[in-house]
Chains A and B, each alone.
Chain A
Amino acid sequence: MTQQLTNPALFYGEGEVDGGPGLKGARCSACATVVLQSAPVCPRCFGRSMQPVCIGRRATLGLSSRVYHSADGFAAPYVIAEVQTEEGPRSFAPILVPVDAPLPHGLPLRFVLVPRPDGRVGFAYAPEA
């Protein structure tokens, strides 16, 4: 059965891409700039040869917040943070840690797929084992 992803424009599911799952990105063939998601034009050199790549399989923790108000299908409390992918682009993501866990900058993280209550597959980042 085909997995239904919560954000199909943002991340690759299981078996969708070599080296996945991970975030969707694009790399400029001319200047090697990498951006989050697909993009037809490089924002640095304006070249039009952006190639799809899987990024963000590993990332580090940036600034974060413990959220105490349920929203968007997420039951509070939970942790949301800015993550820095190893390829460069940053994004926001839920972090799979206990809400009272320490959240140090630079904590190594790995991309994980997460089943959602509605049957779709979402994603999050978890501390590297």
Chain B
Amino acid sequence: MLPPVYIRGVGFHPFGRWPDRSLRSLAQTAALAALDDAGLAPSQIQAAFCANAYGGLLNQQESIRGQTWLRGIGVSGVAVVNVENACASGSSATHAAVLGIASGQYEHVLVVGAEKMFVNDTARTLAALANSADTEVMSNIGLQFAALDAVRVREVMEEEGLDDAALEWVTVKNHDNGVHNPMAQYRKAVTADEVRASRMIADPIRLLMCSAISDGAAAIVLSRQPGRGAVRVRASALACSPWRLDVGDMPGPTVAARRAYAQAGLGPQDLDLAEVHDAMAPAEFIYYRELDFCAKGKVAQMVAERATALGGRLPVNPSGGLNSRGHPVGATGVAQLVELTLQLRGEAGARQVPDARIALAHNSGGWIGEDPAVSAVHILEAER
């Protein structure tokens, strides 16, 4: 069981295209908002874990990104660790921060995730993203991430009997949710017809199903003592891509999820909502199975019952998910925890899941072997 660790404050800079904001200013905005929300001064922070994936390739800042973000907001002379773990950088930084408090080393720790991906050269941004796969194997073969997810979505479609209408539905669902999220890049509902009419990127993935490149930042303050809403971190689990040598070997997200469920002493049946890594909206379906939200063969039933929509038995991605909220890579894992904290506090406004008490965040990053290179799962609980 994890010793007491609470999310005491949350903050963000809205996701979107921000040509006049630097990576540093995005991060600082989110960090200051989280400190204010926690009711803490910068001088009370004892350590910071700063997540970013492409600041070197896109923003020409290597090695000390966190220090450049935090110096100007008064966090100085403390432990600052820079975390790069592909699209799961934010959740990986959180994992390290949780351990820093659980170990008794720190009282208050700041986690900041930020990314600035609009650099007036989309090809350069896409090339940077491609570097998050095992480049020896996956470079130079035409395997962009949309195509990789397309192949994975094909698998879940075939095995679960899902059709194109299901893919359109999940995209519409997440855009509907994003309308109500002030952090979201796309606060505009779309129809199934619009999804169907959007350009095919990699069959069966269409443009409106894809998360967009984005600028943005998110931050949380973790503390040994609870803050407003008493949102406790019940589990924090990371798993790298496992060798899958035999039929039935578990995929990485399942390894991380079961580790988290065991740590929390909870199961998927206890969840009130979840944020999952829908870099392509239909990827949600993969994770319904891999995170044990349903048994294999039951995904179509979940879709038919609209179980993962707001009002369903397990709302998934009430924030709009990566698909609608946007995917500034280093910020994404932290943004998921910001959303869950707001939900568990009852502060999520029109997208609020009623009486939410237990929530799960799943964040994946990169690709190696047969799975994401990183799978991270956090479980939060509102103690009340």
Does A81 touch B at the CB level, under 8 Å?
yes
Contact status B203-A68, CB under 8 Å: yes
Contact of B151 among A65, A78, A116, A122 (CB under 8 A): A65
A49 CB–B CB distance under 8 Å:
no
Whether B245 sits at the interface, judged by CB under 8 Å, is: yes
A97 in contact (CB, < 8 A): no
Shortest beta-carbon distance, B143 to chain A, in Å? 5
Chain A positions 47-92 with a Cβ under 8 Å from a chain B Cβ: 63-69, 71-74, 78, 80-82, 90-92
**Max chain A CB contacts within 10 Å: which of B144, B147, B199, B205?**
B147
Report which of A69, A116, A122 forms a contact with B144, defined as CB distance below 8 A.
A69
Chain B residues with Cβ below 8 Å from A36 are 137
Q: List B contacts of A10 (CB < 8 A).
A: 136-137
Known: A43-B245, A94-B142. A63 touches B130 (CB 8 A): no
Asked if residues A80 and B143 are in contact (CB atoms below 8 Å), the reply is yes
Shortest Cβ distance from residue B147 to the other chain A in the assembled complex, whole angstroms: 5
B370 CB contacts on chain A under 8 angstroms: 90
Which B residues are CB-close (under 8 A) to A37?
Answer: 136-137
Interface size on B, residues (CB 8 A): 30
Q: Is the CB of B140 within 8 A of A71?
A: no
The count of A-to-B residue pairs whose CB atoms sit within 8 angstroms is 94
Is there a chain A Cβ closer than 8 Å to B359's Cβ?
Answer: no
Which residues of A in the span 29-49 have a Cβ within 8 Å of any Cβ on B? 33, 36-37, 43-44
**Contact: B148 with A72, CB < 8 Å?**
no
Question: Please, how many angstroms separate the alpha-carbon atoms of A22 and B138 in the complex?
Answer: 16
What's the minimum C-beta distance from B212 to chain A, rounded to whole angstroms?
14
Say if the beta carbon of B146 comes within 8 Å of chain A: yes
A contact patch SS: strand
**Which one of B136, B155, B201 contacts A63 once the chains associate, using CB atoms below 8 Å?**
B155
Give every chain B residue within 8 A of A65 (Cβ-Cβ). Answer: 147, 150-151, 154, 202-205
**Complex Cα–Cα for A26 and B245 (A):** 14
A69 touches B138 (CB 8 A): no
Query: In the bound complex, do residue B143 and residue A66 qualify as a contact, i.e. CB atoms below 8 Å apart?
Result: no
Is the beta-carbon distance between B148 and A92 smaller than 8 angstroms? yes
8 Å CB contact of B142 from A33, A43, A78, A120: A78
Q: Mark B199-222, 1 if CB is under 8 A from A, else 0.
A: 111111100000000000000000
Taken together as a complex, chains A and B put the C-alpha atoms of A53 and B188 apart, in Å, by: 53
Residues of A within 8 A of B201 (CB): 67-69
Inter-chain contact A94/B151, CB cutoff 8 Å: no
Residues of B within 8 A of A9 (CB): 136-137
Contact between A69 and B202, CB atoms less than 8 A apart: yes
Contact A67 B147 (CB under 8 A): yes
Having A37-B137, A69-B201, one finds 11 other A-B pairs with CB under 8 Å, namely A7-B140, A7-B141, A9-B137, A44-B243, A65-B147, A67-B146, A71-B126, A80-B143, A92-B151, A94-B141, A122-B141
What residues make up the interface of A, taking CB atoms closer than 8 Å to B?
6-7, 9-10, 33, 36-37, 43-44, 63-69, 71-74, 78, 80-82, 90-94, 116, 120, 122-123
User: What are 6 of the A-B contact pairs (CB < 8 Å)?
Assistant: A63-B152, A65-B204, A66-B200, A69-B201, A71-B142, A72-B144
